[in-house]
Structure 1
Amino acid sequence: MALAGITAVGEFHYVHHAPGGTPYADPNAMGEALIEAAAEAGIRITLLDTAYLSAGFGQPPTAHQLRFSDGDADAWATRCSVLKERDHARIGAAIHSVRAVPAEQLATVARWAEERRAPLHVHLSEQTAENDACREAHGCTPAQLLARHGVLGPRTTGVHNTHLTAGDIALIGGSGTGTCMCPTTERDLADGIGPAVALRDEGSPLSLGSDSHAVIDLLEEARAMELNERLRTRARGHWTAAALLRAATADGHAALGWDDTGRIEAGARADLVTIALDSVRTAGPPPGLGAETAVFAATAADVRHTVVAGRHVVRDGAHTLVPDVPGALARAVEALRA
């Protein structure tokens, strides 16, 4: 992420326990490991500790999912309350989805986040099957169910927000709930194209994420949001390059609880990223079109420097804290397979 110019991550974290569901000696061992990993990588993290309690509407967790479940939302809240914030780490909350948290427990998660003024994220209407199951179980859409239980609001971000009704869009926008579009994952999973323009027009702040780790490139996510709309509408120009960059920077940071980041001004954190304008992808355009070149031509491979809160984490395309990033990644993946 640092090599891709990303200075803060929102980690949607729900692998809480050992295989079989047995808590670790430190119940937050996995979350603490993620916080430490962010420190070692030189970036900030908002640990979005996720409530994941059931396999579906009215279904207990499977044997595999016992690693995710705390049993109920009260137990989830008790465990999360032990986590401590650090200079580089904030603690947020997440509802995995309306199918993974019983409706009567949604308010517990929302209240925990509200009391701490913490960001709250939720996978929302990612697939039509979830919408259909929610209607069958509760007689309403997932967005309507979240609204009933006090989940929507300015500190909440719906991740994906793909298959929404006009009423859903009005609920999300009218409540100030954010939308995190993850175009590369949405197309990878064949989930569809979310109504980003309609959400924006209704007042939902748009941010960008990767969701999965198959692609780590916010420039690709930014242009994909525009290009997806072009495919849907057969028209161009839904966002300016500046607006897409804002979704990838200031609005993304704000969705993770870092309101003083993502812009260059006095008092803001010194998060700075430089993108080469002389690579085979970016050479040619005049400097005045730098933003357009970055969004519509550059990739993460064109990032040359990443400065996080004034600290030079990537210099000339090389990570200053992890000498061999590909090797480190390969060893980490191999350890997971062992």
Structure 2
Amino acid sequence: MSTTWAASAAHLPGGLARDVRLTVEGGRFVAVETGRPAEPGDHRLPGVVLPGLANAHSHAFHRALRGRTHGGGGTFWTWREGMYAVSARLDPSSYLALARAAYAEMALAGVTAVGEFHYLHHGPGGARYMDPNAMGAALVQAAADAGIRLTLLDTCYLTGGLGADGYRELEGPQLRFGDGDATAWALRVEDLRDHLDGGAAHVRVGGAIHSVRAVPRDQLATVADTVRARGAGAGQAPLHIHLSEQPAENEACLAAHGRTPTGLLADEGVLGPDLSAVHATHLTDEDVALLGGARSWACFCPTTERDLADGIGPAVALREAGARISLGSDQHAVVDLIEEARALEMHERLATLQRGRIAPADLLAAATAHESIGWADAGRLEVGARADLVAVRDDTVRTAGADPDQILLAATAADVDTVVVDGQVVVEAGRHRLGDVGRLLHDAITPLWKDS
């Protein structure tokens, strides 16, 4: 049975089109017609219709930190201590509740697929749950409940830091993140994949290297090879890494290895078109050339990068070198992919004193870069693509009068009216199918701080 959605304006691969009818069958677009006003029986969409948005970098449990990390200023490194404290309090049940609410908040913002950079693997002190992937299973269930697709970027995290004298042992809350070595990590991930194969159509399993601080040089290739062996060129098992988020990371890598983090990845064969370098903030010209030459992705998370005072990454330089751009909400200080896209351009303006650095169409491409998280058949309103769409109202106090072609420069997540994922309505009239998402977030987060 088919369903037809009608929009007065929609962003198609060729640009903005008027009077668009999108027919869906079996979770795919089977017809996209332009210049065709709505007909009786069509489902009318308000405002401007976009492809589904892709949140390429998420840490679901960081959502519990919003509004709790600003006292006394601090640094990225003091913020990290607060993050460790939250991680120490979660178990599979509370993680499910928190992630379900966080993913529902993303759906309200127009996100149809999320790349979850998952390293909270084990119990307190590193104790193994009976199911060694219980925390990952909670994320899988959470995404299903919230109605969005999930790319579980199972993350290898083996050491507690890097200094001139080498790698430090995991300690305290970090013990929950580690598997001992990359081989043990790979075995656990294979067990997860075996359990999911054929039983969770909304899930892809990829992998991640937490950072060059957290995975020793001699094990970087093991992680990359493990992910790529499973992906087998299908593009469904992406590889991600936090890269050069802080100057201290670069300094430590140079002291220990005589190479920048990007140079180290190049030496170890990790760079490639399946790799997403998350943040990519403090890069040398050589780093930019290496990432561009490999056609890697650079995943920017502007609202997090400014919240943590990380800096402004060289987005335009990377694009000009050949890298591709995606976006994420990372620690969820803000969950609004429209704002992430707008901030990409606005940060460039601040850094260069020039406007129009990234065209609105390119901002939309970054916000819908599903390929970067293993869903190459999504992110476009075209025949054969997954039937994801987002209707953004054009009659709110923020969007009234805006040119539909520039809607990303005016709207926010609050203007999202309708979200469809694989042909299923997840958000309608600004309300998620789970009901009061604010209450879900409150009920999931409040117990984590009851002793604070």
TM-score between both structures, scaled by the size of structure 1: 0.97
2:172 to 54, 59, 63: 63
1:297 positional shift: 1.0
1:71-95 Cα deviation digits (max 9, x unpaired):
1000000000011242100101011
Alignment gaps of 5+ in structure 2 = 1-105, 232-236
Bigger mean CA offset, 322-331 vs 28-37:
322-331
Cα deviation, 1:174-203, whole Å, max 9, x if unaligned, reads: 011110010000000001000000000000
Q: Which residue of 2 aligns with 1:97?
A: 211
Query: Is it true that 1:155 corresponds to 2:274 in the alignment?
Result: yes
- Percent identical among aligned pairs is 60
| TM alignment of 1:206-217, pairs within 5 A | 206-217=325-336
- Counting matched residue pairs gives 331
**Post-superposition offset of 1:126:** 0.3
Mean Cα displacement is larger for which, 165-174 or 52-61?
52-61
- Please say if 1:113 is aligned against 2:113: no
Task: Output the amino acid matched with 1:199.
Answer: L
Q: Deviations over 1:12-69 (max 9, x none)?
A: 1000000100010000000000000000000000000000110112101012100000
Alignment correspondent of 2:429 = 316
Which residues in structure 2 correspond to 1:116-135 (within 5 Å)? 116-117=230-231, 118-135=237-254
CA displacement at 1:291 relative to structure 2: 3.0
SS at match of 1:48: strand
Name the CA distance, whole Å, in 1 between partners of 2:230 and 2:357: 36
Q: Deviations over 1:255-274 (max 9, x none)?
A: 00000000011110000000
Q: Which amino acid aligns with 2:140?
A: I
**Secondary structure, aligned partner of 2:306:** helix
The separation in 2 between residues aligned to 1:214 and 1:114, in whole angstroms, is 32
Q: How far apart, in 1, do the equivalents of 2:449 and 2:117 lie?
A: 21
Q: CA deviation at 1:238?
A: 1.1
- Say if 2:297 is the partner of 1:170: no
- Give the residue type in structure 2 aligned to 1:279: T
Q: 1 CA distance for matches of 2:334 and 2:156? A: 25
Which of 377, 383, 407 in structure 2 is aligned with 1:260?
377
Ranges of 4+ aligned residues in structure 1 off by more than 6 Å: none
The CA deviation at 1:337 is: 3.5
Q: Hey, what's the Cα distance between the residues in 2 that align with 1:335 and 1:105?
A: 38
Give the drift of 1:336.
Answer: 3.0
Bigger-Rg structure (1/2): 2
Please tell me the root mean square deviation across aligned C-alpha atoms, in Å.
Answer: 0.8
- Pairs within 5 Å for 1:1-338: 1-57=106-162, 58-83=167-192, 84-85=196-197, 86-117=200-231, 118-249=237-368, 251=369, 253-285=370-402, 289-292=403-406, 294-320=407-433, 322-337=434-449
Q: Distance in 1 between matches of 2:270 and 2:348?
A: 28
AA paired with 2:414? A
The structure carrying a bigger strand percent of its residues is 2
- Give the counterpart letter for 2:432 in structure 1: H
CA distance in 2, matches of 1:266, 1:336: 45
Which residue identity does 2:150 align to in structure 1? I
Corresponding position of 2:58: none
Describe the SS at the equivalent of 2:191: coil
Deviations 1:138-189 (A, max 9, x none): 0000001011111110010000000000000000000111100100000000
Worse overlay, 195-204 or 85-94: 85-94
Match of 1:7, SS? strand
- The CA distance in 1 between the partners of 2:308 and 2:405, in whole Å, is 29
Query: Counterparts of 1:33 and 1:243 in 2: how far apart (Å)?
Result: 34
What amino acid is aligned across from residue 108 of structure 2 in structure 1?
A: L
Q: CA deviation at 1:5?
A: 0.4
Please list the CA deviations of residues 196-241 of structure 1 after superposition, one character each: whole Å capped at 9, or x if unmatched: 0000000001011111111100110001000111111111111111
The CA distance in 2 between the partners of 1:149 and 1:29, in whole Å, is 31
In structure 2, how many angstroms separate the alpha carbons of the residues matched to 1:225 and 1:93?
26
1:298: Cα distance to partner? 0.5
> What is the CA deviation profile of residues 78-132 of structure 1, one whole-angstrom value per residue up to 9, with x for unaligned ones?
0000112421001010111000000000001000111011100000000000000
Higher mean Cα deviation, 36-45 or 77-86? 77-86
Give 1:295 deviation, angstroms.
1.1
Aligned residue type for 1:238: R
Q: Distance in 1 between matches of 2:300 and 2:432?
A: 28
The structure whose RCO (Cα within 8 Å, separation 6+) is larger is 2
Letter of the 1:38 counterpart: A
What is the TM-score of this pair, normalised by structure 2?
0.72
